[in-house]
């Protein structure tokens, strides 16, 4: 059902609404409403104000300082995608921009705390190398920072958590600082807590305030992409909440039968 989320997210959902409106042209009122909704929502989601509002509602506060990591035993950096065939580094593929931001902040936290690092990311489309190996190469060759563990089997956030927890548990690690984009961390942190770890959220790349005046309402492709990421995260939170409630109900029923 992985494909289903693409039907619910921009720009595909907006295009489908527009096409539905055109196909229902014979029913002028309903078709016009569908067409207007599809076009207006597409333009609105592409504005700086909309993308900022959607992202800001997801973000936890930044770390207050190095002392916030005193209870952690390791730093976990989550993969955020790759660029395929990136020739400038000579590695084949290379980390995508979102991943570079996470790596930079993880390296910064490592230098402040001395904590060992785990990188987590697999092969989403059966690539030659796991994303974790690209992240480890970047930390080693660009940031001069060592990596203790590489988790290279995960394809999504829940698997990042489950596989990383198993690897860290074997090393006696129970408390981690988790690094990802601010909009992604609350859901990721919840997944890692479900996997049995105690998590300190270490967010990076917070939403920038939109420009003042008319410029904040001019649609741009960049902001449509940011809105889509945020909506994907809101959708992921909703799925996680439903899954948690179903699991709690199942456990409750099992306890009553026992």
Looking at residue 26, what is its pLDDT?
Answer: 59
Residue 11 has pLDDT above 60, yes or no: yes
pLDDT in tens, 154-181: 999 999 999 999 999 999 999 999 999 9
pLDDT in tens, 184-232: 999 999 999 999 999 999 999 999 999 999 999 999 999 999 999 999 9
Looking at residue 3, what is its pLDDT?
Answer: 67
**Which one-letter DSSP state was computed for residue 92?**
S
- The arithmetic mean of pLDDT across residues 26-38, rounded, is 85
Looking at residue 157, what is its pLDDT?
Answer: 94
Looking at residue 234, what is its pLDDT?
Answer: 92
* φ, ψ at 149 (rounded to 5°): -130, 145
Residue 1 has pLDDT above 60, yes or no: no
* φ, ψ at 95 (rounded to 5°): -60, 145
Q: Is 81 left (phi over 0), alpha (psi -120 to 50) or beta?
A: left
Residue 113 has pLDDT above 80, yes or no: yes
Specify the pTM.
0.87
Token duo for residue 250? 């199942």
pLDDT in tens, 78-89: 999 999 988 888
Average confidence score pLDDT of the chain: 92
Looking at residue 256, what is its pLDDT?
Answer: 62
Q: Name the nearest CA neighbour of 47 among 18, 10, 12, 4.
A: 10
- The arithmetic mean of pLDDT across residues 67-73, rounded, is 93
């Amino acid at each position: 059902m992985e494909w289903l989320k693409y039907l619910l997210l921009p720009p595909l959902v907006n295009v489908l609404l527009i096409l539905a409106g055109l196909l229902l042209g014979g029913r002028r009122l309903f078709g016009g409403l569908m067409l207007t909704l599809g076009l207006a929502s597409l333009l609105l989601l592409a504005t700086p104000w909309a993308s900022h509002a959607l992202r800001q509602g997801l973000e936890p506060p930044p770390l207050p300082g190095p002392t916030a990591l005193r209870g952690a035993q390791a730093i976990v950096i989550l993969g955020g995608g790759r660029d395929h065939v990136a020739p400038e580094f000579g590695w084949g593929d290379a980390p995508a921009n979102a991943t570079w931001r996470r790596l930079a902040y993880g390296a910064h936290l490592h230098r402040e705390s001395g904590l060992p690092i785990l990188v987590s990311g697999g092969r989403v489309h059966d690539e030659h190398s796991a994303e974790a190996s690209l992240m480890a190469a970047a930390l080693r060759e660009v940031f001069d920072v060592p990596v203790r563990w590489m988790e290279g089997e995960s394809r999504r956030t829940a698997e990042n958590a489950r596989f990383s927890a198993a690897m860290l548990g074997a090393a006696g690690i129970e408390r981690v600082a988790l690094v990802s984009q601010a909009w992604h961390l609350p859901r990721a942190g919840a997944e890692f807590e479900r996997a049995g770890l105690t998590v300190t959220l270490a967010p990076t790349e917070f939403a920038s305030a939109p420009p003042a005046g008319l410029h904040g309402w001019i649609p741009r492709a960049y902001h449509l992409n940011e809105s889509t990421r945020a909506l994907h995260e809101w959708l992921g939170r909703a799925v996680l909440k439903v899954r948690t409630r179903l699991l709690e109900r199942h456990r409750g029923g099992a306890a009553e039968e026992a």
